[in-house]
Amino acid sequence: MFPTRIQLSKKTWDRLQFLQTKTRITPNVLARIAIVLALRDTQTASINTSKPESTHVINRGVLFGNHEKTYEALLKQFCAEQELNNDIQDIIRSLIESGLHKIGHTKTLLDLKRLFQETP
């Protein structure tokens, strides 16, 4: 199901790197957090199918680490519940972008902790 490489837009990658400077968390872990927040709060999926012009490619193993099978199961469930047949790259990219929107105001690691304490 998962592609071996995920193409993120340059804008998304830049936002991940900016958040890294604020939180000291690597972009791949921030992307995982973004996916989880997007999955938690998504009532109705809106998937952006436009392909980014300039991209940053991240390997599946780096993005998901040892938790690849967990994320694959979460995404399969999400696609089934939302009745999505979109390209998995588009879904992953859209979830990361949606989650980044939720954590865009984050300035410290404590701010991230608060996001998980809030109820959706």
CA distance linking residue 106 with residue 63, whole number of Å:
20
What mean pLDDT comes out for the span 81-92?
89
What mean pLDDT comes out for the span 79-94?
89
- Helical H segments across the chain, by residue range: 10-23, 27-41, 60-64, 68-82, 88-103, 109-117
Residue 35: per-residue pLDDT: 93
Domain ranges of the chain: 5-117
Q: Give the list of residues 6+ apart from residue 115 with CB closer than 8 angstroms, or none.
A: 37, 102, 103, 106
**Angle between helices 27-41 and 68-82 in degrees, nearest 10:** 30
Predicted model pTM = 0.87
Q: How confident is the model at residue 31 (pLDDT cuts 50, 70, 90)?
A: very high
Q: Which CATH superfamily is domain 5-117 in?
A: DNA sulphur modification protein DndE (1.10.1220.160)
